[in-house]
Amino acid sequence: MSRKYHVATMVNGDEYEYLCEPQQTLLDVLRDELMLTGTKEGCGTGDCGACTVMVDGTMICSCLMLAVEAGGKKIETIEGMAKGEELHPLQRSFLELNGSQCGICTPGILIAAKALLDRNPDPTETEVRYWLAGNLCRCTGYDKIILAVLAAAREMRGA
Amino acid sequence: MISLKYEAPSSLGDAIALLARASGTSRVLAGGTDVIVQMETDLIEPDLVVDIKKIPDLRGIAMENGGFRVGAAVTGMELTDHQAFCEAWPGVVDGVKLIGSMQIKGRATMGGNLCNASPAADSVPALIAAGAVARVAGPDGTRDVPVEGIPIGPGKTSLRKGEIVVSFVFPPRPAYSGDAYLRMTPRTEMDIAVVGVGVNVTLDAHGVCAAARVSLGAVAPTVLLVEEAGAALVGSRLDAPALDRLAQAAAAACRPIDDKRGTREYRIKVAGVLAKRAAALALERARQNP
């Protein structure tokens, strides 16, 4: 048995403490220890983006970060995107424009899309497609996803 | 992974000591985009993982002796967001931008890209063309190794036990210098190079090529520095005959594998074509850089 490591971290503004084994990923701990199951596991090897979360303002695949590395970090997951009952404009846009089909890729895509719009409020369609290249949708609903991101961007700019 | 230990020392000396006295399998953890995948897929079962991201020497981007020094654990996003570095070394940035998705670039580092020792690593041909030097620290002190001296085969490096690549030192940039990296992949994103080419040129005041370095990826067991290809450009204006000589020298240096992603013949042909295109882009950048 590996020894357990004590980690104190911040997730969606709340303080969390957990014990983890060194080989456990942040994704494992978010889902299985903290019960934040909004973040999904797709490939587990950093190819699909389903497990995308923000760590200290940078988006990463949570399957490729060890849980023990998260000490003292600020983590944002899909659970923190809506403000109570009020959905984020991206979430509303995905609902209205059918940006979500089976839904497995949706949390990761929403996190990634929000990271893009926080950096660039007025992206071109090409910029959205390249930014989201690391988020795979097995339903292949890419067009509606891109349209939903562009519509949310317009709304957020007040355009 | 019966008894994996994780350490995150805050000093270089502690990291070296941990690695130097470790028995069994140990791995340096930077961005983890290769190491954690290898752990998850049971390719490796390390006994010790040393996370080097808390060591200040490995994290910064600074000017040193007129050139840049970039910490080996600087992430792709940190590097591509660094305006002055992007202006000085657009070809290196081309390579880093092609390392995986935005999520991967949020974690992946040039140090890891080099030490993973894949012949298809996207930042490595650009680093070699740039003439970057890896500053290596270990139990016997610090040594500077040209980047092309680090990989010795797929997954294998010349680093000795306890040694860590701490930073990359880039030479000062003369006027009229430009670099570029291009790769061939079946898809535009999220793919691994079938061929990668880094070219770095410096022109004199008359537009004649005074110095050139050319590096090829994914066409041999390691990324190659192709001196003949650089020599084919020196003294020319990178006109069509010089670019043809470049393409021939690049193709002649290839010793590629034959696999589902590209046949041997295809990789050799593409190496010449991409070398010409990368040289043309490096030339365009050099002209804009008085």
Which helix (H) or strand (E) covers residue A151, if one does? Answer: helix A142-157
**What is the four-CA torsion angle of B18, B19, B25, B28, rounded to 10 degrees?**
110
Tokens 């061939």 map to which residue? B184
Contact B32 A64 (CB under 8 A): yes
Distance CA(A63)–CA(B158), nearest Å, equals 30
CATH number for position B126: 3.30.465.10
CATH of the domain spanning A89-157, picked from 3.40.640.10, 1.10.3720.10, 1.10.150.120, 3.40.50.1360: 1.10.150.120
Is the pLDDT at B173 greater than 70, yes or no?
yes
Claim to verify: residue B96 and residue B10 sit in the same structural domain: no
Is the pLDDT at B110 greater than 60, yes or no?
yes
Tell which residue, B60, B57, B32, has the closest CA to residue B44: B32
CA distance B205 to chain A (A): 37
Which chain A residues touch B101 with a CB distance below 8 Å? 46, 49, 133-135
| Residues of A within an 8 Å Cβ radius of B | 1-3, 5, 21-23, 25, 44-47, 49, 52, 55, 58-61, 63-66, 68-69, 112, 115, 130-131, 133-135
Tokens 């995308």 map to which residue? A52
pLDDT digits (tens, 9 = 90+) for A102-119: 999 999 999 999 999 999
Q: How far apart are the first and last CA of chain B?
A: 55
Contact B1 A2 (CB under 8 A): yes
- How many domains does chain B contain in total? 3
Which of B40, B47, B80, B103 should be substituted to probe chain A, the one whose Cβ sees the most A Cβ atoms within 10 Å?
B103
Claim to verify: residue B202 and residue B135 sit in the same structural domain: no
Angle ∠(B222,B226,B229) on CA atoms, nearest 5: 150
- Chain A residue with minimum CA distance to B32: A64
pLDDT digits (tens, 9 = 90+) for A15-70: 999 999 999 999 999 999 999 999 999 999 999 999 999 999 999 999 999 999 99
Q: Where does a domain end: B142, B169, B196?
A: B169
pLDDT digits (tens, 9 = 90+) for A113-137: 999 999 999 999 999 999 999 999 9
CA distance B37 to chain A (A): 5
Amino acid present at A158: G
CATH number for position B201: 3.30.390.50
Instruction: Kindly state the tokens that stand for B81.
Output: 């967001």
> Is the CB of residue B73 less than 8 Å from the CB of residue B59?
yes
Nearest by CB to B32, from A1, A65, A115: name it. A65
Q: Where does a domain end: B148, B169, B190?
A: B169
Going from N- to C-terminal start, the domains of chain A cover: 5-79, 89-157
Claim to verify: residue B93 and residue B165 sit in the same structural domain: yes
Mean pLDDT score of chain A: 97
Which chain B residues touch A44 with a CB distance below 8 Å? 40
Claim to verify: residue B37 and residue B76 sit in the same structural domain: no
Tokens 């409020």 map to which residue? A121
Contact A47 B103 (CB under 8 A): no
Distance CA(B153)–CA(B119), nearest Å, equals 8
Contact A3 B49 (CB under 8 A): no
Distance CA(B143)–CA(B274), nearest Å, equals 34
Contact B5 A115 (CB under 8 A): no
Which residues span the domain enclosing B132?
56-169
- Kindly state the average pLDDT of the residues B269-285: 98
pLDDT digits (tens, 9 = 90+) for B24-65: 999 999 999 999 999 999 999 999 999 999 999 999 999 999
Q: For B73, phi and psi rounded to 5 degrees?
A: -100, 15
Is the pLDDT at B2 greater than 90, yes or no?
no
Tell me the pairing of strands A74-76 and A58-61.
Answer: unpaired
Tokens 């290596």 map to which residue? B136
Tokens 């010349």 map to which residue? B158
Proportion of chain B above pLDDT 90, given as a percent:
95
Claim to verify: residue B97 and residue B67 sit in the same structural domain: yes
Claim to verify: residue B164 and residue B182 sit in the same structural domain: no
Claim to verify: residue B47 and residue B60 sit in the same structural domain: no
Claim to verify: residue B151 and residue B183 sit in the same structural domain: no
Tokens 């060890």 map to which residue? A66
Is the pLDDT at B1 greater than 60, yes or no?
no
Claim to verify: residue B86 and residue B164 sit in the same structural domain: yes
Distance CA(A93)–CA(A89), nearest Å, equals 6
A5-79, superfamily in CATH? Answer: Beta-grasp domain (3.10.20.30)
Which of A48, A53, A60 should be substituted to probe chain B, the one whose Cβ sees the most B Cβ atoms within 10 Å?
A60
Claim to verify: residue B142 and residue B211 sit in the same structural domain: no
- Kindly state the average pLDDT of the residues B159-183: 98
- Kindly state the average pLDDT of the residues A153-157: 97
Is the pLDDT at A159 greater than 80, yes or no?
no
> Is the CB of residue B132 less than 8 Å from the CB of residue B168?
yes
**CB under 8 Å, gap of 24 or more: what pairs does B136-142 form?**
B136/B163, B136/B164, B136/B165, B136/B166, B137/B12, B137/B16, B137/B57, B137/B163, B137/B164, B137/B166, B138/B16, B138/B20, B138/B162, B138/B163, B138/B164, B139/B16, B139/B17, B139/B20, B139/B163, B142/B166
